[in-house]
Amino acid sequence: MFIMIMKYVFIEPLSMVSLFVLFIAFLVLFVYLTYLFIKKMRISNLKKIPTALIVGFPNSGKTFIVKELSKRERGVFDKILNISYADLMHDGVLKLKILDHHGIFSTDGKFDHGTIDHLETIKPNYIINIVDVSPFSETIENQINLITKVNNKFKGRKNFLVANKVGKKSRKNLKKIEENFGKNFYKVRINKPGDVKKLREDLLKLLKTS
């Protein structure tokens, strides 16, 4: 498209219309290149600190887990990267950035491989998988399938698995998780923020040794 505009500008006599078209073309190009530069810089800045990508279906309780890990009400949304992130602080020092990408699922609810490829450029150090085990969640099979796909995509990264919204009717879903991933996962009960404390402590211990 840009080449066609340039041909038009230089083949036709330079008129006010031609100059205006040329100006718009260069303006669009400048904006696009600026966007790419800012995006590259922000990704580069994220790579300077350890990061954890939090993954789960919508309404699985990711926001609650992030809030308890960061001890803040809400994170910051980066419109360019389409990522919300929150800082995990300890003794006033930034230890970890927790990332939640808003486009892991396409509009039809399917797993978006393009987004995962984009996240791979950020190279998160850890993956925190959130599974909603309440009776009203996405099917446990679909959630397990998501975890498997993400873990395969980010092989070699340390994974944490959190069974969220644990209640009296969660036994069947918890058993499914054990069958697929073993018993080494975190259980967070409904409205029990203290249950996230162990995950936070383990993350800090891991960051000290890495």
The per-residue pLDDT for range 10-58, each reduced to its tens digit, is: 555 557 777 788 888 889 999 989 888 988 888 888 788 899 999 998 8
Task: For the chain, list the strands marked E by DSSP.
Answer: 51-55, 76-78, 83-90, 93-101, 126-132, 158-166, 186-189
Q: What is the residue extent of each domain of the chain?
A: 2-43, 50-209
CATH assignment of 50-209, among 3.40.228.10, 3.40.50.720, 3.40.640.10, 3.40.50.300: 3.40.50.300
Handedness of CA 169, 57, 123, 50 (dihedral sign): negative
Between CA 148 and CA 154 the distance in angstroms is: 10
Residue 47 is encoded by which pair of tokens?
């790579």
Q: What is the pTM of this model?
A: 0.80
The rounded distance, in Å, linking the Cα atoms of 95 and 99 is 13
Angle, alpha carbons 67-113-157 (nearest 5°)? 55
> What three-state secondary structure class fits 166?
strand
Residues 6+ apart with CB under 8 A from 51: 96, 97, 98, 99, 122, 123, 124, 125, 126
Report the alpha-carbon distance of residue 134 to residue 157 in Å, rounded: 27
Q: What is the pLDDT of residues 81-129, one digit of tens each?
A: 888 889 998 888 889 999 987 766 654 556 666 677 777 778 899 999 9
DSSP 161: E
Q: Specify whether the CB–CB gap between 139 and 146 falls below 8 A.
A: no
